[in-house]
Amino acid sequence: MEVLQKDMAAKEEDKERALKDIAERYRRELKKERDAWIAGEKVRRERWESERIQEIRETTVKGIEPFLAGKIESHKKELADLQSTL
């Protein structure tokens, strides 16, 4: 009877140890996957930010172009008027 109890206790300990090992392995695997996801998300975010900054710059330049063209034209006209008076 004692032998059976010791055998059952040993099997129970083995089972608990195996469960702990599996849980630890899954925890490490989950951490590895999470870290990979975070790194990928960081790269995606940086790429998105870069693209968004480029879009904003292009939109800003396109918005300023008519104003600058008008200023250049008015300066050319003013320069031509000054040259004609000389």
pLDDT score of 2 = 85
Residue 59 corresponds to which tokens in the numbers above?
A: 């939109």
Q: What is the pTM of this model?
A: 0.58
Task: Write b or e for each residue in 8-32: b if 16 or more Cβ atoms lie within 10 A of its Cβ, otherwise e.
Answer: eeeeeeeeeeeeeeeeeeeeeeeee
pLDDT tens digits along 24-41? 999 999 999 999 999 999
